[in-house]
Structure 1
Amino acid sequence: MSLPVVLVHGLRTSRTMWRAQLEALARAGRAAVAVDLPGHGSRVGEQFTLDAAVDEVARAVDEVGGRAFVVGLSLGGYVGIRHAARHPEQVAGLLAASCSTRPHGVLLAGWALGARYIVRLPDGGARLNQFFVDLALPPAGAADAGAGGFALDVTDDVLREMATATPLEDLALVETPVWLVNGRLDHFRGEERRFLAACRDGRLVVVPGATHLVNLVQPTRFTRVLLEALAEVDERVSGPATRL
């Protein structure tokens, strides 16, 4: 059995950030869909809430058949964790990337301060945001991150909602296999051992040379991890192949 895949993007970007993975999954004959969360991409202007984000993932899983392997990065990783805890019947496996730190306290305060400064600029921070994107990502990754536009006004909504997130408690409820995937240089991997310990059936993969946006910085290595995880979950779902 070949499970479909649902991919969930990070803060301020959109479903276009998954172009490399969607192309690789298509080459592998794997059905896959990437979503736009409320307030992002094709849904700019909508209010982001964690509940609405989880509902969007649930809708996408229903669209691909009712059960899927869910992949999320950063904000999308936290959403994926919450979705797996609330809708266990929909999730055969979860890859949560770049989200191995609880989104509370100092982390949110620093995030909020920077975001509020940027949106006060005359262009709403578009030029400065693009400067940092180009600095942090290879050209192909920067193009993919920005292809659906950047949601520069959504940050306050996201930060308010993420203050209510409980990823450790949610992970403890997830019975299906979980992959925590972090770039070695990612500032969001500070509690990865604690996150791993919270998983009932977890694995930790650290990608050398990668920063926070691991699928854009190291797309080949990230995709390899994803395909290997999918092969393992496929075998669990369908059982090992019979050898003649």
Structure 2
Amino acid sequence: MDLSPRTEPQGGVLPPAGLVLLHGTRMSRAQWGPYLPLLPGTEVVSVDLPGHGDRVAEEFTRQAALRTVADAVAQAGPRPVVAGHSLGGYLAALWAAEHPDALGALVLIGATADPAGPLTGLYRAFARVMPHLDAERTARRMNALMRLLGARGEHADVLPGGAAYASLPAAWDLVIAEAGPRLLEEVRCPVVLVNGQLDQMRLHVRRFAAHARDPHVVTIPRATHLLPATHPEQLAEVLRLALALARPQEPDAPV
């Protein structure tokens, strides 16, 4: 794996790339608050996806979700790095597939399980029963598990309540219907595929890497799917390396 920075072109120093951070299912932009001290000097843009955070009452739709990504990319400046965890990673890949020249780098965190694979049935079943469960009780149990697995301090403080589960079926339906490794085929920037060693969403990382033009695979030892909450220093290091990898605009390439 080569994560060395790109050589700057002669004639001037490139401005640093901005960084867009997209949260996972149930979470919110608050997921990334503890990362700001770990990314000094970086222009960070984090947003709530529809149905999450301050937008928990909004309907999650494909159009609204991808518009949110587009707005965040525009706010971050030219050719930013876009990094997404879980749902955020799949949405980042969907957006990048439609704008293959727009990014400096793409980082998928815990988002390399092919939705066409064997996990699909399990996730569909959970989404179907979710409306019939006590959402607050489910959230308490899930948050307790996250704390048990290592979420501490600020990362534990931002764990969401039950209202965040309402958008889960629509979000997973979109991922299952449209996400997958082929989204990376036309993406022209470096693609960093980062997973916890124990993450079930790491299942098809080689398949995703095979479809990317410039893949970089990173595995965080002993981490699970909860990697952003349990291993922030290690993930911040990967994000810094992705910023160093960010590919400048080629002279004749359209955006």
- Confirm whether residue 129 of structure 1 aligns to residue 137 of structure 2: no
- Correspondence for 1:22: 36
Provide the aligned length of Structure 1 versus Structure 2: 234
Name which of 66, 70, 89 aligns with 1:77.
89
- Correspondence for 1:214: 227
User: Could you say what secondary structure the match of 2:58 adopts?
Assistant: coil
8 Å contact kept, 2:101–2:189: no
User: Could you say what secondary structure the match of 2:21 adopts?
Assistant: strand
Q: What TM-score comes out, normalization by structure 2 length?
A: 0.83
Question: Whole-Å Cα distance in 2 between the matches of residues 164 and 221 of structure 1?
Answer: 32
- Confirm whether residue 94 of structure 1 aligns to residue 106 of structure 2: yes
Q: What TM-score comes out, normalization by structure 1 length?
A: 0.87
Greater shift, 2-11 or 45-54, is seen at 45-54
Question: Whole-Å Cα distance in 2 between the matches of residues 44 and 237 of structure 1?
Answer: 36
User: Could you say what secondary structure the match of 1:154 adopts?
Assistant: helix
Q: 1:161 to 1:176 in 2, by over 3 A?
A: same
- Correspondence for 2:204: 191
Q: CA deviation at 1:127?
A: 2.7
Segments of structure 1 that go 5 or more residues without pairing to the other structure are 240-244
Question: Whole-Å Cα distance in 1 between the matches of residues 62 and 37 of structure 2?
Answer: 28
Alignment of 1:24-173 (within 5 A): 24-25=38-39, 27=40, 29-104=41-116, 106-117=118-129, 119-122=131-134, 124=136, 125-140=138-153, 141-146=155-160, 151-173=164-186
8 Å contact kept, 2:101–2:188: no
- Confirm whether residue 7 of structure 1 aligns to residue 18 of structure 2: no
Identity %: 37
Q: CA deviation at 1:46?
A: 1.5
8 Å contact kept, 1:112–1:155: no
Q: CA deviation at 1:122?
A: 4.2
Q: Deviations over 1:146-191 (max 9, x none)?
A: 3x88611111111221222232221001010000000000001111
Question: Whole-Å Cα distance in 2 between the matches of residues 22 and 152 of structure 1?
Answer: 26
Q: CA deviation at 1:143?
A: 2.0
Greater shift, 91-100 or 150-159, is seen at 150-159
Q: 1:163 to 1:190 in 2, by over 3 A?
A: same
8 Å contact kept, 2:79–2:249: no
Q: CA deviation at 1:21?
A: 2.1
Segments of structure 2 that go 5 or more residues without pairing to the other structure are 1-14, 251-255
Q: CA deviation at 1:132?
A: 2.7
8 Å contact kept, 1:14–1:149: no
- Correspondence for 1:242: none
Greater shift, 131-140 or 54-63, is seen at 131-140
8 Å contact kept, 2:192–2:216: yes
